Amino acid sequence: MKRTWMLKAALVAMMVVSLALPGWAESPKMKMSTKIPPGIASPDKVETRLGTLKFLDGFPDNATVEKLYDNLDFQRAVQAYLLGLAPVSQVANRKGILEVGPANTTVPIFEQMMNARSIFLTPNNNTPYTWFWLDLRNGPLVLEVPPKVLGLIDDMWYHFVVDLGFMGPDKGQGGKYLLLPPGYKGEVPEGYSVVRPATFSIWAGWRTFLVDGDPKPGVDLVKKFTKIYPLSQAANPPALNFVNVSGRDFSTDAPADYAFWEYLNKVVQEEPSESVDPVTLGFYASIGIQKGKPFAPDSRMKKLLTEAAAVGDATARAITFRMRLKDAYYYPNSAWRGGFIGGYEFKDNGALILDAYSSFFFYATGVTPAMDSKMVGQGSQYMAAFIDSKGKPLDGGKNYKLHLPPNIPVANFWSVILYDNQTRSMLQTDQQWPAVSSQTKGLLVNPDSSVDVYFGPKPPPGKENNWVQTIPGKGWNTLLRLYGPLQPWFDKTWRPGEIENVE
């Protein structure tokens, strides 16, 4: 009897010792034991890019828990940064514009074409802009749009709201738009194009066009017919303050450091949660940005968010300048890329194309179906290049040549504009406009109707009108714009040359 008891005790002791041995992966055989399929149980040690993660029968030790939470917070912060590029860009856009004057009563207008002094994301110098902000917190607003403009309204998340002018309900004839705030349930009078933005703060803007090379007729129409007033004052609209901002030294670019998060928090606090999807809000909430709550990260989280902003900005630059999506490139083995990958909503079969979304809002502004529409002889098409024909970054200290083959397929005009890699705004040099276009006075056109454009610190002799100045030590990129693109553009029988380094 005693011998039997001793044997049982020894067996139990062996089982306890075995359970304590490193690498033990199976439970003791109990009455309810079943075989665990492979891939479920955690090893005691896992080697990862975070270092060695340690577990006791699947339970992470304290050092591993700390390491994993740091990584999780950092991952979510970087993704929150990339998802926040659009609304943060809008906050910066609004901040710069409202420095000119209050929303609803001030209309900044570029009476001449925008030049390189004003820092905006990839603007053009071909058409004068009118660019302003509206605030719907005090109720419905009426916006009277002038004739002969091409414009849009986007909300604070950069979601498209409505086209204005030629592509909008007024069809370029001018018209009255009634803008209703989120959740508005009051009566809606007739006689307006009714618009229901998802956010209280909205950005409106349009372009006017030159008449025989003169911007003044279009600008005069804007000043004569544009009106903004509360619906309650429709019988007696107040006067607007039009401010000429041509040549103004100001910036609408977003910060890429810790201030990024403070800008993002503004949108989350100000706008209805229903105006954006819950997964995006979940990323923001996971790093401490949540509606109705103060954004007050502790020292650990503030340090992490500062690093995440740096990595987020670096990631946006990698995505933009070295795009890996094959669908982005318009031709095989070419640097030329389109801007709207997956259309103006950046989607493929309902899924957001994350790299396309991040790249666009890092680089550009303005989302509308009109910019993505493919209509022969109408609208515009945009192509960007960030590298030369050898795949190397474009260097401001080197000389380059771009050949545009004969019969450039445009009904209206074309342009090539250079942008600073840092600000994504017009390259600031001694030239008022870092551009060459079919509107350039004295442009040299080859006998076969082709055009050569030159880039470098100094112009080739006799080619000054076809030359854009660059700066040694500063990188640049370019956009080729076609206004009124013709069929050879769409069927790709016409193709721009690559940017060639020339000695």
Domain spans in the chain, listed from the N-terminal domain onward: 61-100+255-322, 104-251, 324-501
The pLDDT tens digits for 279-330 are 999 999 999 999 999 999 999 999 999 999 999 999 999 999 999 999 999 9
pLDDT on residue 372: 79
Contacts for 420 with CB less than 8 Å, ≥ 6 apart: 426, 427, 428, 474, 475, 476
pLDDT on residue 4: 46
Region 364-383 average pLDDT: 87
pTM of the prediction?
0.92
Q: Are 155 and 197 in contact (CB under 8 A)?
A: yes
Contacts for 93 with CB less than 8 Å, ≥ 6 apart: 203, 252, 365
Topology at the third CATH level for domain 61-100+255-322:
VPA0735-like fold (1.10.3360)
pLDDT on residue 380: 84
Q: For residue 416, what are its two tokens?
A: 């090539």
pLDDT bracket for residue 137 (50, 70, 90): very high
pLDDT on residue 26: 55
The pLDDT tens digits for 450-500 are 999 999 999 999 999 999 999 999 999 999 999 999 999 999 999 999 999
The pLDDT tens digits for 12-56 are 443 443 344 344 445 578 999 999 999 999 999 999 999 999 999
Region 254-270 average pLDDT: 98
The pLDDT tens digits for 326-359 are 999 999 999 999 889 999 999 999 999 999 999 9
Please give the CATH number for the structural domain made up of 324-501: 2.60.120.600
Tokens 């810790």 appear where? 258
- Domain 104-251 shares a fold with domain 324-501: no
- Closest among 175, 125, 108, 117 to 145, alpha carbons compared: 175
- Closest among 236, 240, 235 to 225, alpha carbons compared: 240
The arrangement of secondary structure in 104-251, i.e. its CATH architecture, is Sandwich (2.60)
What does the alpha-carbon distance between residue 369 and residue 428 come to, in Å, rounded to a whole number? Answer: 31
Region 127-146 average pLDDT: 97
| Strand, helix or coil for residue 113 | coil
